[in-house]
């Protein structure tokens, strides 16, 4: 999914646009039709306009009409519209009777004394089409064909039946909710094989989110967004209307409160309801109050099956519901919301009271009890709490949050303990499902009421954890206070210390403090016998070890992961358990395959339970796929992570998601969007008190790729300054990048000062990606000191190592470095071959800017520049490997291309060189 470039752009309709392109392609060859169908507001006209635009862009002639409701009566209004732009010359080519008939139909000549001949108009219309289609493809564009006047419909029908091979297309939209038969007629007329129908379905949740962001600049919390999406049934028009009403109201609805329905829309829907008898409206209110209305439940709630049958019948005839066997469905979800929202509060409560007695499940019953209550009620609050716990346990987290909230609001004044417990539980469920701000509000008010000791400690702890992503310093203060307060409870203290040993605090408190906290957490957790906390504590300890020695403490982590699995669902949050920690380490260590497996497993779980925490494993996956060279996947994961993080207000995840997205887009050379994401990511990092290493490194990478080392260092310096003084791990990508940038700036000494320990650490750890990067940088440093022969041999070694590196950018980067040295040594042939491989490999990744850099380097070799006039660099590399007798498979592996790409390039090679076989190719190369 790509961000649209302006408010006029369509969101989430790629498949439909592809359908339009297909149709336009066919219309060029023979009569074709495409009907866009769907309910009002689903986006037919918008799509149709795009179709018209695309047709014009192809140089087609477009005749269009957009009949409004009132036009249905006016004879030939549609034909007049379609032919409105017809010129005099075309008219003159028609036989006189047809010309006259047309003139009458178009009301351009006063011929009112002659009776209007339907058939003559039709024949004339057909002639016009034929004339117009002689030189250009002609598209008849009709928006809302159900409102086309009957006479024009007959004309179209006549003409379309008689077209044979003319390049004429008809692009129409049709409403399905009016049970229009027009669309079907049109399709039959053109011929089933030549016409297609596209039913516009609902926009996805993500597309709706984007629509609200782009059109209204409205950002909703995920739970509200989910409700809005369900209410509008994915209909963009309704989504915009409700979004507008939400924006006007200036706040999101609280639990149990209906979404605001805009007045116009409400009126529109109510107009359909007013004609109904009052009993039918009451029955429908019961239906609207039910999560899943059914005939049976309505029978039970009213105790009168015959009346229900009668009422549903009436509503069905009015087009408000559909009764599908036992199921009652509102024709549009909006009917239910509007009807419900506009009923008086007392009637709504009465409906819920009746329903509470007849629904089965605990949750549904509790919900009705709550909505039936007029004020606080201990029993109802208790039932709600129980239902909420059930919902939470089965992973229906947003539902649980709503139920807990309702429980809080119905708890009687004198039950302080109950209110506290429910507030905390509601906060937990909100946080888990992405309602971060609401979670914090609830905890703040719980904190104000809390008793000193464990209760206060627990709330401080939770508040500290929810605040981590937005305010690191405050989060530490809260957690430290919690640790003090929790002296009496080992288990709780262990949890708090786990929270405190998180790496985000490294630059606040230092590495020693982190490791001490983790170690104490492990001891306390072992003592208290809480396995889950022990798992987390072990994970944290592993994390601090990894930060310190940069060596994956595999045994410790495996133990922690198993322990976590045994104690329930693993957590996917950044703050989560050992599984996510372990994945992070594996990723940093360049062990991509096991990291991917673990991350995909975590994503799958989080998706199942709807956890907003999924943003974290997703953005890690995005990084991983970027380094694996699968940029399409990286982009998809980063975008999903970004969506979730924005919807759930998790700024720390937004930082990661935007950084990964910026890396991919920047890699592809889409500089503006890349910069935008990275700068926003950096701003979010700074807002939440983080260093912004990830966006800074990505920005540096981007500047380096356009040859702006100065700017790159500007971004990178603070990030590196953060890593190095901690004495933490030298083996981070940003450290290698810093060496690159410093070398590019000619600061060889500074570069070597980082390179020396980096290389040493890479050797000690035997980590392929770091070794390869170190060797490449070493070669560059030697070259900078004009020690070219050494630089060459080091560069060759770097290439060998890069072939083993999990980082797919490493190979072309090292080839580029080596090729440059070879050029400076005057080895034209070798330089050309090496740079050719670099080019092919960058191109294969889609790294446009890097590829350009290689091309510039190739251009500096001088002498014959064959790849421009004869063979492309890729072709040349392939040709050389063929000459060496390698198979396609070997070549593909060597150049990191797919076998298909190799085959395709070979066929081009054969053509260009005029050869027919590999042997001939090798011979031709020897000659040339
Ligand atoms: N895919 C989309 N992306 C962005 N906006 C859309 C999209 N589809 C519809 N809209 C907006 O929703 C509203 C209704 O769309 P419209 O095309 O008029 O629907 P229809 O013709 O089916 O009644 C318009 O404001 C339109 O701009
Ligand atoms: Mg329309």
pLDDT for 463 equals 95
327-330 and 321-324: which strand pairing?
antiparallel
Q: Which range scores top for mean pLDDT: 300-304, 562-566, 640-644?
A: 300-304
174 C-alpha to ligand 1 centroid (Å): 14
DSSP state string for 790-848: HHHHHHHHHHHHHHH-S-TTHHHHHHHHHHHHHHHTT-HHHHHHHHHHHHHHHHHHT-H
Which residue is it, tokens 């982590």?
557
Q: Average of pLDDT values for 92-101?
A: 80
Token reading at 345: 């509060």
198 phi, psi to nearest 5 deg: -120, 120
Give the least confident one: 92-106, 186-200, 575-589, 745-759: 92-106
Nearest to 656 by CA among 671, 645, 669: 645
Q: Is the CB of 237 under 6 A from ligand 1?
A: yes
CA distance to 620, 833, 846, per residue, from 876 (Å): 37, 8, 19
pLDDT for 107 equals 63
pLDDT for 459 equals 96
Model confidence at 96: pLDDT above 50? yes
Contacts of 481 by beta carbon, 8 Å cutoff, 6+ apart: 460
Model confidence at 717: pLDDT above 50? yes
SS (H, E, C) 614-682: HHHHHHHHHHHHHHCCCHHHHHHHHHHHHHHHHHHCCHHHHHHHHHHHHHHHHHHCCHHHHHHHHHHHH
- Report the SS3 class of residue 158: helix
Q: pLDDT tens, 672-702?
A: 889 989 998 998 887 666 678 899 999 999 9
Model confidence at 868: pLDDT above 60? no
Pair 835, 793: CB distance under 8 Å: no
- Report the SS3 class of residue 321: strand
226 C-alpha to ligand 2 centroid (Å): 25
Res. 3 pLDDT band, cuts 50 70 90: very low
Q: pLDDT tens, 333-365?
A: 788 888 888 889 999 999 999 999 898 767 788
pLDDT for 325 equals 82
Pair 892, 898: CB distance under 8 Å: yes
Q: pLDDT tens, 43-78?
A: 999 999 999 999 999 999 999 998 865 555 567 788
Q: pLDDT tens, 474-514?
A: 999 999 999 999 988 888 999 999 999 887 787 788 888 99
Nearest to 641 by CA among 650, 630, 628, 632: 650
DSSP state string for 69-112: GGGGSSTTHHHHHHTTT--HHHHHTS-HHHHHHHHHHHT-S--T
Contacts of 61 by beta carbon, 8 Å cutoff, 6+ apart: 132, 136, 137, 138, 139
Residue 549 C-beta-side C-alpha neighbours within 13 Å: 10
212 C-alpha to ligand 2 centroid (Å): 19
266 C-alpha to ligand 2 centroid (Å): 19
Res. 724 pLDDT band, cuts 50 70 90: low
Q: Average of pLDDT values for 722-735?
A: 64
pLDDT for 866 equals 45
Nearest to 472 by CA among 575, 582, 622: 575
- Report the SS3 class of residue 181: coil
Q: Average of pLDDT values for 160-165?
A: 87
Model confidence at 867: pLDDT above 50? no
Q: Average of pLDDT values for 731-745?
A: 88
Gap between the terminal Cα atoms of the chain:
47
170 C-alpha to ligand 1 centroid (Å): 21
Q: Is the CB of 315 under 6 A from ligand 1?
A: no
Token reading at 816: 């580029």
877 phi, psi to nearest 5 deg: -60, -45
Model confidence, pTM:
0.58
Q: In what order do the strands lie in the sheet with 32-38?
A: 61-65, 138-142, 168-175, 32-38, 195-199
Res. 226 pLDDT band, cuts 50 70 90: confident
Pair 536, 496: CB distance under 8 Å: no
Q: Is the CB of 11 under 6 A from ligand 1?
A: yes
Closest atom of ligand 1 to 13 CA is: 1
Give the least confident one: 27-31, 623-627, 645-649, 770-774: 645-649
Q: Is the CB of 41 under 6 A from ligand 1?
A: yes
Res. 6 pLDDT band, cuts 50 70 90: very low
Q: pLDDT tens, 873-926?
A: 778 788 888 888 888 888 888 887 788 888 888 887 887 777 778 888 877 777
pLDDT for 390 equals 85
Give the least confident one: 425-429, 612-616, 802-806, 812-816: 612-616
Q: pLDDT tens, 450-481?
A: 999 999 999 999 999 988 877 888 999 999 99
CA distance to 880, 896, 900, per residue, from 871 (Å): 12, 19, 18
Model confidence at 767: pLDDT above 60? yes
CA distance 190 to 372: 57
Q: Average of pLDDT values for 567-581?
A: 77
Q: Which ligand is nearest to the CA of 46?
A: 1
Pair 667, 631: CB distance under 8 Å: yes
CA distance 172 to 146: 10
Model confidence at 590: pLDDT above 70? yes
49 C-alpha to ligand 2 centroid (Å): 10
pLDDT for 865 equals 44
Q: Which long-range contacts (CB under 8 A, 24 or more apart) does 831-835 make?
A: 831/861, 832/858, 832/861, 832/876, 833/876, 833/877, 833/880, 834/799, 835/861, 835/873
Q: Which ligand is nearest to the CA of 9?
A: 1
Res. 153 pLDDT band, cuts 50 70 90: confident
Model confidence at 768: pLDDT above 80? yes
Question: CB atoms < 10 A from the CB of 566, how many?
Answer: 10
Torsion of CA 678, 682, 687, 692, to 10 degrees: 140
Model confidence at 114: pLDDT above 70? no
Residue nearest to atom 13 of ligand 1 (CA): 237
- Candidates 18, 41, 235, 268: which one to mutate for ligand 1, based on the most atoms within 8 Å of Cβ? 41
Q: Which ligand is nearest to the CA of 69?
A: 2
Token reading at 777: 């940088």
pLDDT for 674 equals 94
Rounded to the nearest integer, the mean pLDDT of the chain is 86
Q: Is the CB of 214 under 6 A from ligand 1?
A: no
- Candidates 1, 14, 43: which one to mutate for ligand 1, based on the most atoms within 8 Å of Cβ? 43
Contacts of 818 by beta carbon, 8 Å cutoff, 6+ apart: 779, 792, 795, 796, 798, 799, 834
Q: pLDDT tens, 904-918?
A: 888 878 877 777 788
CA distance 500 to 490: 15
Q: Average of pLDDT values for 613-626?
A: 93
CA distance 800 to 811: 9
Q: Which ligand is nearest to the CA of 38?
A: 1
Residues with CB in 5 Å of ion ligand 2:
45
Q: Is the CB of 243 under 6 A from ligand 1?
A: no
- Candidates 176, 236, 240, 244: which one to mutate for ligand 1, based on the most atoms within 8 Å of Cβ? 236
Model confidence at 197: pLDDT above 70? yes
> Does the CA dihedral 908-913-918-922 come out positive or negative?
negative
Q: Which ligand is nearest to the CA of 234?
A: 1
157 C-alpha to ligand 2 centroid (Å): 22
Q: Average of pLDDT values for 562-569?
A: 84
Model confidence at 144: pLDDT above 90? no
Give the least confident one: 310-314, 681-685, 795-799, 831-835: 681-685
In the DSSP assignment, the letter for residue 1 is: -
Model confidence at 861: pLDDT above 80? yes
47 C-alpha to ligand 1 centroid (Å): 8
Contacts of 649 by beta carbon, 8 Å cutoff, 6+ apart: 221, 434, 435, 436, 437
Q: Is the CB of 36 under 6 A from ligand 1?
A: no
């Amino acid at each position: 999914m790509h961000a649209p470039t302006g408010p006029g752009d369509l969101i989430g309709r790629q498949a439909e646009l592809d359908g339009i392109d297909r149709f336009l392609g066919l219309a060029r060859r023979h009569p074709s039709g495409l009907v866009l169908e769907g309910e009002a507001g689903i986006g037919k006209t918008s799509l149709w306009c795009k179709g018209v635009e695309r047709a014009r862009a192809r140089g087609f002639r477009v005749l269009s009409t957009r009949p409004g409701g009132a036009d249905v009566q006016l004879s030939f209004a549609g034909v007049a519209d379609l032919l409105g732009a017809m010129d005099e010359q075309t008219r003159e080519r028609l036989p006189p009777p047809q010309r006259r008939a047309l003139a009458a139909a178009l009301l351009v000549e006063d011929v009112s004394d002659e009776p209007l001949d339907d058939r003559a108009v039709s024949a004339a219309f057909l002639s016009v089409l034929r004339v117009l289609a002689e030189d250009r493809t002609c598209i008849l564009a009709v928006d809302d064909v159900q409102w086309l006047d009957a006479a024009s419909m007959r004309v179209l029908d006549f003409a379309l039946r008689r077209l044979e091979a003319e390049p004429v297309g008809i692009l129409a939209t049709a409403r399905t909710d009016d049970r229009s038969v027009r669309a079907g007629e049109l399709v039959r007329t053109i011929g089933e094989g030549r016409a297609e129908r596209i039913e516009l379905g609902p926009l996805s949740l993500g597309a709706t989110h984007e629509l609200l962001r782009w059109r209204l600049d409205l950002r909703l919390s995920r739970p509200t967004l989910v409700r809005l999406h369900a209410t509008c049934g994915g209909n963009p028009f309704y989504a915009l209307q409700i979004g507008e009403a939400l924006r006007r109201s200036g706040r999101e609805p609280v639990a149990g409160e209906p979404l605001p329905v805009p007045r116009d829309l409400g009126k529109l829907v109510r107009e359909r309801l007013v004609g109904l008898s009052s009993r039918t409206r009451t029955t429908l209110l019961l239906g609207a109050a039910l999560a899943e209305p059914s005939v049976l439940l309505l029978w039970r709630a009213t105790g009168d099956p015959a009346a229900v049958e009668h009422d549903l019948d009436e509503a069905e005839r009015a087009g408000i519901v559909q009764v599908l066997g036992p199921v009652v469905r509102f024709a549009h979800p909006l009917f239910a919301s509007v009807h419900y929202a506009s009923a008086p509060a007392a009637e709504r409560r009465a409906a819920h009271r009746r329903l509470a007695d007849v629904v089965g499940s605990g949750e549904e019953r509790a919900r009705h009890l709550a909505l039936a209550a007029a004020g606080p009620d201990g029993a109802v609050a208790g039932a709600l709490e129980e239902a909420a716990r059930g919902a939470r346990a089965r992973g229906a987290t947003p539902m649980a949050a709503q139920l807990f909230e309702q429980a809080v609001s119905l708890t009687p004044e004198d039950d302080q303990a109950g209110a506290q417990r429910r507030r905390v539980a509601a906060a937990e469920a909100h946080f888990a499902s992405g309602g971060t701000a609401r979670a914090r509000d609830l905890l703040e008010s719980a904190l104000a009421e809390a008793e000193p000791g464990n209760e206060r400690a627990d709330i401080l702890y939770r508040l500290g954890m929810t605040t981590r992503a937005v305010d690191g310093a405050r989060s530490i203060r809260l957690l430290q206070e919690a640790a003090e307060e929790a002296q009496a409870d080992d288990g709780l203290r262990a949890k708090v210390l786990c929270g405190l040993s998180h790496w985000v605090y490294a630059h606040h408190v230092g590495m020693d403090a982190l490791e001490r906290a983790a170690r104490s957490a492990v001891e306390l957790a072992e003592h208290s016998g809480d396995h889950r906390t022990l798992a987390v504590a072990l994970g944290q300890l592993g994390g601090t070890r990894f930060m310190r020695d940069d060596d994956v403490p595999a045994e410790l982590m495996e133990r922690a992961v198993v322990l976590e699995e045994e104690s329930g669902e693993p957590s996917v949050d950044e703050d989560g358990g050992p599984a996510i920690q372990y994945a992070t380490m594996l990723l940093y260590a360049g062990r991509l395959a096991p990291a991917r497996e673990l991350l995909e497993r975590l994503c799958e779980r989080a998706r199942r339970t709807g956890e907003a925490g999924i943003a974290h494993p997703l953005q890690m996956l995005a990084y991983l796929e970027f380094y694996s060279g699968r940029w399409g996947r990286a982009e998809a994961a980063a975008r999903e992570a970004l969506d979730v993080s924005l919807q759930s207000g998790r700024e720390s995840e937004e930082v990661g998601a935007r950084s990964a997205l910026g890396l991919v887009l920047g890699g592809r050379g889409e500089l503006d969007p890349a910069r935008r994401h990275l700068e926003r990511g950096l701003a979010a990092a700074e807002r939440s008190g983080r260093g912004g290493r990830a966006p800074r490194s990505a920005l540096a990478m981007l500047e380096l790729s356009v040859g702006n080392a100065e700017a790159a260092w500007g971004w990178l310096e603070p990030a590196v300054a953060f890593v190095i003084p901690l004495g933490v791990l030298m083996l981070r990508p940003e450290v290698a990048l810093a060496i690159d940038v410093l070398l590019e700036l000619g600061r060889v000494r500074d570069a070597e000062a980082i390179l020396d320990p980096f290389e040493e650490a890479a050797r000690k750890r035997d980590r392929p990606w770091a070794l390869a990067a170190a060797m490449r940088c070493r070669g560059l440093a030697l070259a900078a000191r004009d020690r070219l022969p050494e630089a060459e041999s080091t560069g060759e070694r770097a290439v060998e190592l890069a072939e083993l590196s999990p980082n797919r950018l490493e190979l072309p980067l090292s080839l580029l470095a080596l090729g440059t040295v070879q050029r400076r040594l005057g080895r034209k042939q070798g330089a050309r071959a090496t740079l050719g491989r670099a080019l092919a490999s960058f191109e294969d990744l889609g790294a446009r800017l890097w590829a350009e850099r290689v091309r510039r380097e190739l251009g500096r070799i001088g002498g014959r520049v064959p790849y421009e006039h004869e063979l492309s660099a890729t072709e040349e590399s392939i040709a050389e490997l063929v000459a060496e007798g390698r198979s396609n498979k070997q070549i593909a592996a060597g150049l990191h291309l797919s076998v298909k790409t190799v085959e395709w390039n070979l066929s081009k090679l054969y053509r260009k060189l005029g050869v027919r076989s590999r042997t001939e190719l090798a011979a031709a190369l020897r000659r040339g």
